Amino acid sequence: MMHDLPKFAVIGRVNKGKSSIVSTLAEDDTVIIDRGAGTTRACREFPVRIDDTVLLLLIDTPGFQQAPRALAWMKEHEVSAANRREVVADFVREFGHTDEFADECRLLQPILEGAGILYVVDGAKPFRRNYEAEMEILRWTGQPRMALINHIGEGDFSKEWMPALDQYFSIVRHFDAHRVSFADRVRLLQSFRELHDGWRANLDQAIESLQTEWQRRQREAAHIIARMLVDQLTFSKELVLARYETPDDHKFKLEREFHNALRERERKARQQIEKLYHHSKLETDEQDLEKPVFEQDLFAESTWNLLGLNPKQLIGLGAITGATVGGMIDLAVGGASFLAGTVLGGAIGAGSAIFYSAQRLATIENIMKYVQGAQVLRIGPHRNKNFPWVLLDRALLHYISIRDLAHSRRERLHLTENQEKTGLVSRLDHELRKQLARQFEEIRKKTGDDTSKELTRLSKLLLQVVKEI
């Protein structure tokens, strides 16, 4: 009996990527994926959902273990093609409560209860005749069925698989569970809807819901990055000094706390992006990264050499003329806005604009004035003109890494396998960069003021960016 909610049992031999496909399609990194044989020992349902609405169910199943013997039993009890489904049901009733054919019975049960079949093979390995027994058993169930050629290794034996699979399955598709895009997932759902007329309406709704959700995530990601930028560009830190203290007593501590606070704001935004794309168990290891760009420390000098805009681009935006190095670190009266100190640094040349260590761009110099009353040591906001571009570059590199990361991939996260993606802001349309530069300057003028309008405008600009990258 077919149910309104589409269900698909993911079937195949052990270690052919069944659990990886389930994890990727359901965006669920709790699915157990292990190279050890027989990791999946019982059927488990994983819903593909948007918020609280379940769009379809995927059933992760054990792999075939004794398909030739199972098929031989079924053939002994076959009367005609008309009773083959009943023979499969008899097989499950006969052995379902025994240790014999345990995995075959477990994987066949949801199919007999109405689930469609997604049969997974490894296209990196050659086809062998011993696969025919399990494909024949699946055909005997009479359920709608589709084959997925997954690619686990480097080889490609698809041409060997296709003629065999075409004889047993109405639809055959290639699907790389570790390098799947959103468009790939949608195309697979579109193939699902062709398997059974009763599922089409539900799957059409599922496809529409996924596309709507993808657009919502883009808007939310743009807003998260924009909010982080606004916060970083307006952030300052103050410390009230006792009468017996001098700025030298605290300047290094304040500088360290200022930069750590900026780093924490970046980490918080990254965590929000990861949550948005349902990566709840993501691990990163900055020491082991092959291309340690976004995982590199925000204020490492090499980060500033790699990311942001180059001097020519900054000149083109009119962004470094008269630029001041670093944040403002001042003594003020009682924490008031009156700045009694000196803006640090001075004008910097275009050629050196992005090659200063960012940590040095907000240090405390021994250029201070004392004023009567309480003394307040202040650092920030960060004034380097390339600072927002470096932040944006790092945020975008992190965003595309998370957006494109299949949930079946459990290794520690590397930034990107595509070196060409490094330095995204330098590749943006010049007019868009000009609009972003103007917005950054407007935000910096709003230190201590309401920045809601600037946040809204920046979010709209960044939505254009995240849609294009």
Sorted by where each starts, the structural domains of the chain and their CATH numbers stand as 7-195 (3.40.50.300), 218-468 (no CATH)
Please compute the mean of the pLDDT values over residues 234-238 and round it to a whole number. Answer: 89
Confidence of residue 96 (pLDDT cuts 50, 70, 90): very high
| Of 151-155, 423-427, 436-440, minimum mean pLDDT range | 151-155
> In sequence order, which ranges of 171-327 are alpha helices (DSSP H)?
182-192, 200-234, 251-276, 301-306, 311-316
Tell me what the pLDDT averaged over the chain comes to: 79
Place of tokens 């009890």: 77
Query: Which residues contact residue 129 at a Cβ distance below 8 angstroms, ignoring those fewer than 6 apart?
Result: none
Find, among 216, 148, 145, 144, the residue nearest to 188 by Cα: 148
Burial class (CB in 10 A: 0-12, 13-18, 19+), 435: middle
pLDDT score, position 151: 83
* Cβ within 8 Å of residue 353, ≥6 positions away: 311, 314, 320, 323, 384, 385, 386
Percent of the chain with pLDDT over 70: 77
Local confidence band at 304 (pLDDT 50, 70, 90 cut-offs)? low
What does pTM read for this prediction?
0.81
pLDDT at 34: 64
Percent of the chain with pLDDT over 90: 47
Q: Cis omega (within 30 of 0) on the bond before 381? A: yes
What mean pLDDT do residues 364-393 have? 70
User: How far apart (Å, rounded) are the C-alpha atoms in residues 84 and 78?
Assistant: 6
- The answer to whether residue 309 scores a pLDDT higher than 90 is no
Give 23-80 pLDDT, tens digit per residue: 888 888 888 776 554 555 689 999 988 888 898 999 999 989 999 999 999 999 999 9
